[in-house]
Amino acid sequence: MREYLPGKKKMKEKILIVEDEKDIIKMLDYNLKKEGFRVIDARDGEDALDLAVGEHPDLILLDLMLPGIDGLEVCKALKKTAKTALIPIIMLTAKSQESDKVVGLELGADDYITKPFSPRELIARIKAVLRRADEKEKVSEVFQSGGLRIDFARISVNVKGKPVELTSKEFELLKTLLKAKGRVLSRDYLLDAIWGYDHAMEIQTRTVDVHIRTLRKKLHSEAKRIITVKNYGYRFKFEGED
């Protein structure tokens, strides 16, 4: 592991590069340093998991083809761990890994970029993802209604006193619906607010529906609170509504 600190530029966020190709690491180091970012790197999945917990980077660039634990398994493990679940992840993929992109996004990755890529495009993607992370409203209060209890600060959900394990995307989806105060949110809105997609691929709308389905299943008796509005999107139903 190495950490590069630009000499004269103002320090920005810390980025963890998870990549086993030395030339790509060197290129990423150089371009990220130019932008003032702090950079650490891991050459395999096991080191990536250790560094993510120990260093808590602001963003992770994650290659899918890694020795040992592959990138998809790393992504899955990060999103299931409380200390790393909310760290944004941009996947680095090859064109032949189209199905892996879909799986990675559904596991909770925030974006992907296909190799070969231009440094300028990557920097733009990084800044966009970090900006979305910064703009997400920090909610510290606890919401409780009926059998549902959500502690936003602790990122925990309970149904009738029993803990419910949600992925980071499922939790963000539930929080976004709740904060809308009963308003109907379109699939496009949810995609932009939670994933930041440009709505270009059909898979994206299916991603929202898949996450809604799994969220409802995990909420058990409280699943009825998530209402489908036909041909548009979803809303949260509060206790006492007709």
Assign residue 176 the CATH number of its domain: 1.10.10.10
Domain boundary among 135, 163, 186: 135
- Report d(CA 40, CA 58) in Å as an integer: 11
9 and 110 inside one domain: yes
In the numeric block, which tokens belong to residue 200?
């270009």
**145 phi/psi in degrees, rounded to 5:** -155, 125
Give me the number of domains the chain comprises: 2
Query: What is the arithmetic mean of pLDDT over 69-90?
Result: 86
Structural domain contains residue 117: yes
Q: Tell me the CATH number at 34.
A: 3.40.50.2300
Structural domain contains residue 124: yes
Closest CA to 13 of 28, 27, 33: 33
Domain boundary among 112, 135, 158: 135
Q: Encode pLDDT of 34-53 as tens digits.
A: 999 999 999 999 999 999 99
121 and 166 inside one domain: no
Q: Encode pLDDT of 98-127 as tens digits.
A: 677 788 888 888 899 988 899 999 999 999
CA distances from 55 to 26, 48, 215 (A): 20, 10, 30
Domain boundary among 95, 112, 135: 135
108 and 172 inside one domain: no
72 and 95 inside one domain: yes
Domain enclosing residue 222, as ranges: 142-236
pTM of the model: 0.61
Q: Which pairing describes strands 14-18 and 59-63: parallel, antiparallel, or unpaired?
A: parallel
Structural domain contains residue 242: no
In the numeric block, which tokens belong to residue 207?
């991603």
- Report d(CA 56, CA 59) in Å as an integer: 9
The DSSP output letter for 182 is: T
Going across the sheet that includes 148-151, the strands are 142-145, 148-151, 156-159, 162-164
Q: Which pairing describes strands 89-93 and 111-114: parallel, antiparallel, or unpaired?
A: parallel
Q: Encode pLDDT of 119-154 as tens digits.
A: 999 999 999 999 877 765 454 478 888 899 999 878
* Tokens 């990060």, located at residue: 78
Residue at 196: amino acid letter: G
Chain-centre distance for alpha carbon 36: 23
* Tokens 């999945």, located at residue: 45
- What are the E-state strand segments in 5-110? 14-18, 38-42, 59-63, 89-93
H or E segment to which residue 226 belongs: strand 226-229
